[in-house]
Structure 1
Amino acid sequence: ERYLIDEGKLTVSSAEIGDMVKSKLKNLDPISFIRFVSVCDNFQDIKDFESAIKQMEKDKKNDQGEKD
C-alpha cells in the first residue's frame, strides 16, 4: 500500500496487485508463492506446477549468480 501511495497511483488493477504479491512471496515463502501463483495463474495440471517450480529455481540461481 505504501509503495502505491508513494507512486501516486489512485487505481491499481488486480493483476498489478497480484504481481506485487508474487514478487514478495517468492523470496519470503516459496510454498506460499507456488500456492498463490497456482490460483492467480489458474493452473490446470501438474505440468503448470512443475514449470513454476523450475522457473523459481532458475530465478534463484540467477539471483545467487548476481551476488557472487
Structure 2
Amino acid sequence: MKCPFCGHQETQVVETRVAEDGGFIRRRRQCAACERRFTTYERPEVTLPTIIKKDGRRTEYERAKLLGSFKLALRKRPVSTEQIDSAIERIEEKLLSLGQRELPSNQLGELVMRELKKLDKVAYVRFASVYRNFEDVDAFRAVVDEVDK
C-alpha cells in the first residue's frame, strides 16, 4: 500500500485487529521509507441501494456523506467517533437486510433519525429541524415534545 505521507510503495503491517462486531479489519502500517505510521481499514465490498432523492434523481449511497450528516448534527456534543461509526454500521446493516436495489431518501433519513435519537437528543432535534423542514414553531415544538417523552 502506498504511504499517504511520502508516496513510497512499500509499507509493512505492524498490527492487525478485527473490529468487535467482526465487520472490518483495522491495520496499523509503517512506511519503509519515511517510517511514519498510519491506519487502514478493510471492509467487505457490498452493494448498497441507490438513493432516490425527493426530486427523482438517483445517487449512489455514500458513507462519507452520511458521516458528514452525523458529524454536523453531533457537532460539539459528547458522542464519540466509535459511537458514530457504530450507528452508521447499524444503518448500513439495515440497508443490506432490506434487500432493495433502490431506496427513497426519506427512508434513509428516518433510519438516521432513529440512530440520532439513541445517541443524543439535541442532535436528533438539530437533524429533524433540517430534515423535516419545519414551517412553523409548532412543528419544532412537536419534535421537542416527542424527545421529552
Whether these two folds match at TM > 0.5 is: yes
- Report the structure number with the largest CA radius of gyration: 2
Q: In the TM superposition, what whole-angstrom CA distance separates every residue of 1:11-66 from its partner, at most 9, and x where no partner exists?
A: 110000000000110110111110110011111333322211111212xxxxxxxx
How many residue pairs get aligned? The number is 58
Aligned-partner Cα distance in 1 for 2:104–2:123: 22
Structure 1 unaligned spans of 5+: 59-68
Aligned-partner Cα distance in 2 for 1:2–1:22: 16
1:19 to 96, 110, 114: 110
Q: Which 4+ residue blocks in structure 1 deviate beyond 3 angstroms?
A: none
Secondary structure of 1:12's counterpart equals strand
Q: Which TM-score applies when normalising by structure 2? A: 0.36
Q: 2:94 aligns to what? A: 3
- Output the aligned Cα RMSD: 1.3
More strand by share: 2
More helix by share: 1
Q: 1:43 aligns to what? A: 134
Structure 2 unaligned spans of 5+: 1-91
Aligned-partner Cα distance in 1 for 2:104–2:145: 27
Q: 1:61 aligns to what? A: none
Q: 2:144 aligns to what? A: 53
Aligned-partner Cα distance in 2 for 1:7–1:42: 27
Aligned-partner Cα distance in 2 for 1:22–1:34: 9
Q: 2:17 aligns to what? A: none
